[in-house]
Structures are given as C-alpha cells and as structure tokens.
Amino acid sequence: KISLPHKLTRQYPAYELYLYGEGSYAQENKNLLLSGIPVLFLPGNAGSYKQVRSLGSIALRKAEDIDFKYHFDFFSVNFNEELVALYGGSLKKQTKFVHECIKIILKLYEGQDFAPKSVAIVGHSMGGLVARALLTLKNFKPELVNLLVTQATPHTAPVMSLDSYLNDFYKTVNNYWILNAQDIKLSTLSIAGGFRDYQVRSGLSSLTKLSQQTQALSVVSTAVPRTWASTDHLSIVWCKQLQLATIRAFFDLIDDDTKQITMKPKKKMAVLNHHFIKYPAKPFEEIPNIVADLTGVL
C-alpha cells in the first residue's frame, strides 16, 4: 500500500493506491526505491484492485526472462468496489483521485536515472472510461499518460442509463474526445470481450467515432492473434492469452534510449497493430525486412 498525503486521504477516505509485488521483487521494493516503468491499473464497476495480479505477474516473469534489463512497476487503485455503472455520482471523484495518484507515482521516481515522466494506464470496464475522463480535467497535463489500454470498457454509451450523473459524465467525456480528436495524442487500445460478454456488448467498446483513427485501435478478443477466444466481462482481466499479448506489446514499446515506453506515436500504433491485429508468429520489427522471392518460373 502506498502512503498518501494526509490531505488526500481526508478528501478521498475510501480510496487507496497499491503497488503490486510478489516474491523477491516485493521484498526489494518495500522501501519504494523503484526503477521500472510505471503502469496504473484501474478496476471497473465493483472491481477489485487485486485484479492487477494477472498483468503484474506475467510482466514479472517476462522481466525475469531478460534478467530485469527492463521491468514494469504495476500500481493499482482501490475504488472500494463502488458500483459506478449503476450510480455515476462517484465517477468524477474517481477521476480526480486517479489524477492525484499519477502525480504521486511519478514522484516516487524523482532523482533517478531514466525517471519516467508519464504512466501507462490499463482500465477494466468503467476504469477505462475514468482514464479517458482524465483529459477533461482543467488542470490535467495530457503528457502524464503515454498509453491507454481498456478492457471491456463501454466507451460510446452506458450499458444502462440509470441516472443523470452517469449520462452527464458520458456526455462530458465523449463530447471532449470528439471535439478535440485532432489534438488528442494519447495512443489508445480498446479490447472488447466478444459474444461471451453479456454485460458490455462489443459495439459499446468501439472508439471509431470517438477519436482520431491514427491514435486509436479497437479490437475484439476473438480476433487477437494467439488469443482467438471470447471472454466474459470479468475473465477478460485474467485471460492468459490476452494478458500475454498485452505484456508482449508493453515490452516491445520500450525505448532503448529512455528505458521507458516510447513517445513516438507511430511506433506505439505499429506495436499495437503487430500484437493485436497483424503478425502473431514473428517478433516485432520496427523496420521489417522485406524479402521478395523472384525465383519463380513463369
């Protein structure tokens, strides 16, 4: 558990921030002397901060395989399992708390070599919407978030319009993204669960009409290479094949010079396209070798 400023705990008494860890990694980072790449997980409606375990554990195994040349530090927000899909009154509060968490996370790296200046966010369900809502905050700096991955997030409209708070929140977020589509540089990947997700149908997860096509990608889990399976609304968080694809993409996004996720929009979209759409059986190449076989006989 990350210790938060007293002012913040008084303002948001029900919310908490955690750093995921296991084994020797957890022991080594008890004092929060972090040197990795920060990723923030946001749970959805009635979701648990512990759902970060699937991504965090796989990322740790991957880092061990490369002798910790690079590694990710996974943080998770505890929203106290609020039912924000049924009552939208807490969504603004969650968004403001996430903003404060991002600033606190980046402060943990101050003074270190290759200190990150931004975080990547993975949001499940309504957590993905909260992440998009960050851009609507008046004092939010867009450069604080370099990548957004949403899992089964109803982007276009609420699953059920139960109150005016929820509808107003959606209008605010989506209107902002539509009106500022040309200016939003945040690379965003939206993953839908497919036919097994009875709660959020795939159409609601599409970003096609809400953002610039060059910076957003919408996929269904059944079409993701080496996943090929539909997930229900919860299992999308722990579907091993999908989490493996996500972590492979994260590691391919690392810039060798900065030791952080690349800031190049084209490379980010190329990596996401590679792992979630195009080439399932070969490693990512920033400049692919094109070999033409001209030995055929006419």
Between strands 16-19 and 216-220, the pairing is unpaired
The total of structural domains in the chain comes to 1
Note whether residue 288 is domain-resident.
no
Question: Hey, which of 21-35, 192-206, 211-225 has the most confident mean pLDDT?
Answer: 192-206
Is the pLDDT score of 37 beyond 90?
yes
What is the rounded CA–CA span in Å between residue 296 and residue 151?
46
Is the pLDDT score of 5 beyond 70?
yes
What confidence score (pLDDT) does residue 213 get? 72
What confidence score (pLDDT) does residue 294 get? 44
Is the pLDDT score of 71 beyond 60?
yes
Note whether residue 250 is domain-resident.
yes
List 125, 190, 202, 221, catalytic entry? 125
Give pairs for 24-29: CB < 8 Å, separation 24+: 25/60, 29/73
Q: Which of 122, 115, 118, 117 is nearest to 47 (CA)?
A: 122
What is the rounded CA–CA span in Å between residue 49 and residue 16?
9
> The CATH number of the domain where 132 resides is what?
3.40.50.1820
Q: What are the residues whose beta carbons fall under 8 Å from the beta carbon of 112, sequence distance 6 or more?
A: 34, 35
Note whether residue 49 is domain-resident.
yes
Is the pLDDT score of 143 beyond 90?
yes
Least confident stretch, 9-13, 60-64, 189-193, 293-297: 293-297
Is the pLDDT score of 297 beyond 50?
no
What confidence score (pLDDT) does residue 26 get? 76
Is the pLDDT score of 293 beyond 90?
no
Note whether residue 294 is domain-resident.
no
pLDDT tens readout for residues 236-248: 999 999 999 999 9
Note whether residue 290 is domain-resident.
no
pLDDT > 90 in the chain, percent: 72
Note whether residue 297 is domain-resident.
no
Annotation marks residue 125 as catalytic: yes
Which residue segment(s) compose the domain that 184 sits in? 6-278
What confidence score (pLDDT) does residue 292 get? 43
Note whether residue 112 is domain-resident.
yes
Note whether residue 212 is domain-resident.
yes
Average pLDDT, the chain: 90
Residue 265's φ and ψ, nearest 5 degrees, are -60, -40
How far is CA 208 from its chain centroid? 18
What confidence score (pLDDT) does residue 47 get? 94
- Treating both helix axes as pointing N-terminal to C-terminal, what angle do 126-133 and 91-107 enclose, rounded to 10 degrees? 70
What sign results for the dihedral spanned by CA atoms 243, 247, 252, 255? positive
Task: Return the bridge partners of 245, or none.
Answer: none
